[in-house]
Amino acid sequence: MRVGTGTVWRGLVPALVLGGALTSCSGAAEESTRPTARSSATTAPGAPGTAAAASGGTIGAQGSACELPVTFDIAEDWKAEAVDSGTAGSAADGGPDGPSLSEEVADALLRQGPVTAVCEIDAKPAGNIGFLRVWTGEPADTDARAVLEAFVTAEGDTSRERYRPFRTARVSGVEVEYLFTSRLLDETKKERALAVTTTEGPVVLHLGGLDTEEHEQMVPAYELAKRTLRTPA
């Protein structure tokens, strides 16, 4: 059984064990208290009135927590961890009887449209419930807008998508803000993502969050990643 990613399977993650392939941010909702997220007092470029996140280091380069086709800074106290894609590979290969239910779920979680989850940066150590996730795909003759549109469509139950190009000192790409409605929780929340293309394939950075309030509190970390995003020379 295969359903669209981002719908039923994503809501069922807390009840399933996926061998650490992808951590669910919704499971953290059971926490009754959490510290207040920290940020610097400056204002993020391109985001008037939003406090800029202090950098906690760079990931993406060889030897970092996540080796990627791009590098960027992660916010202070956020924790990056590579996603184990081995489960998705076993789901694709299957066995004599085809992939098991757990393999189907893992594959649905790890793949979204043309890209596969390869890294997640957890906001919990900084006081928020959510992740900035990195997804990569195979090289293809597809532009960033097409990749991003396919990514959002594959999430399912999305609305009010607003796409726009962006450019920094080092890269250019496309980003989107949209609403995602969880059928399981009967709740609609804001999400955003960006996509760039590299010689190694497309890269998508996606910021979710437990709800819209958590999402908005984590936007400075997303803006930091976008502002410092770069591809190898």
Taking only the tens of pLDDT, the chain with its 233 residues reads 333 334 333 433 333 333 334 543 333 332 222 333 333 333 344 444 457 899 999 999 999 999 999 999 999 999 999 998 654 443 344 444 555 556 666 677 799 999 999 999 999 999 999 999 999 999 999 999 999 999 999 999 999 999 999 999 899 999 999 999 988 878 999 999 999 999 999 999 999 999 999 999 999 999 999 999 999 76
DSSP assigned state of 21: S
Q: Any alpha helices (H) in the chain, and if so which ranges? A: 8-12, 86-93, 101-110, 144-155, 212-228
Separation CA 143–CA 146 (nearest Å): 6
Fold observed for domain 8-19+54-228: Protein Transport Mog1p; Chain A (3.40.1000)
* Threshold 0.85, pTM exceeds: no
- Consecutive H or E run containing 45: none
How far apart (Å, rounded) are the C-alpha atoms in residues 136 and 118?
7
Other Cβ atoms closer than 10 A to 132: 25
Residue with tokens 């993650």: 13
